[in-house]
Structure 1
C-alpha cells in the first residue's frame, strides 16, 4: 500500500482559480487539461422546479443535485504534479483550493438519498455522533 502525503498551507492555494462550481460526474475523462465546461456543459444545464438539474454529456442524459459539505468541514481540490510509476510508490498531493458545496450527477436517474455521495456526507454526522464523548448530566 502506498503512502499518501497531502501538502497544505496558504502558500499552496491558488486563489486565482475559481472553484465555485465543483461537479462530480459518473464517468472518467482520460485527459489532464482544462475543459471548456462553461461553454460546452454549464450553459445547457437546466434547473428543475424541485431544485435539481438536468443536462447531458455526449448525448447521454444526466440528472444532478447540489449538496452542501457539512458545517465545520471543507471540500478540497487536490493536485498531484508527479504521478508515481509504481502503485507502491509514495504519492504527494497539493491542496490548490477548497469548496463548500458540490453538484453530483447520475446517468438518467433521479438523485436521491441513496446516492453514494449523499450517503457519504450523511455518514459524517453519524460518525461524529458515534465517536463523540457521552456527557453525563
Structure 2
C-alpha cells in the first residue's frame, strides 16, 4: 500500500507551497535516461495543430510523433510521484498489526512532485485513436472505480 505526501522541502523553500502543474507525455518508445536534460528545446518542441489545439506534432530523434491531449474527468486530478525509502508508522508496540490482528504490509511513502489535469499520448506518424489503451484507459478506469464504490441502494436511487 502507498501513501502520498507533499515533497520534502528545504527550510528556505518551505514558505512557498508547491503547486507544480505539468502535462505528462506517454511516448511510444523507451528512453534509457532518468534525469535532467541540458537543453530541453533541442530535443522536445511540440507544436499545436492549427485546427485542433488538442492535437500536436513533435519530432524526437528524427521520428515524427503525433499526439492527442486527453483530459481527466471533472473532479479528478493526476499526481506525479516519486518513490522514497520511507514508510508510514503503523506500529502497535513493536509489531505492525492490522485491524483484524494480523500482520499488515508496511505503507510506503510516495512524494508528490506535480499534478495534472490532462496528459499527452503520442504515436509514431499518426494520432493515437480514440480506442488507444492509454486514451481510453483512464475513462474506463474511472467508470469501473465508480461502479466498484457504488452501494446497491445508491445505484437504484440514481436510476
- Which of 60, 72, 76 lines up with 1:73 in the alignment? 76
Aligned to 2:2: 5
**TM-score for both structures, normalised by structure 1:** 0.71
The CA deviation at 1:55 is 1.0
Aligned to 1:86: none
Residue ranges of structure 1 left out of the alignment (5+ in a row): 83-89
1:31-78 CA distances to partner (integer Å, 9 max, x unpaired)? 221134344312xx2222133111111011100011111112111111
Larger Rg: 2
Which aligned segments of 4 or more residues in structure 1 are displaced greater than 6 angstroms? Answer: none
Query: Following superposition of structure 1 onto structure 2, how do residues 54-73 of structure 1 map, counting pairs within 5 Å?
Result: 54-73=57-76
Question: Structure 2: how far apart are the matches of 1:73 and 1:91?
Answer: 23
Question: Structure 2: how far apart are the matches of 1:6 and 1:32?
Answer: 23
Residue ranges of structure 2 left out of the alignment (5+ in a row): 10-16, 86-106
Aligned to 1:87: none
Mapped contact 1:6–1:95 kept (Cα < 8 A):
no
Aligned to 2:89: none
Aligned to 1:123: 140
Return 124-133 or 67-76, whichever deviates more. Answer: 124-133
What SS class does the counterpart of residue 155 from structure 2 fall into?
coil
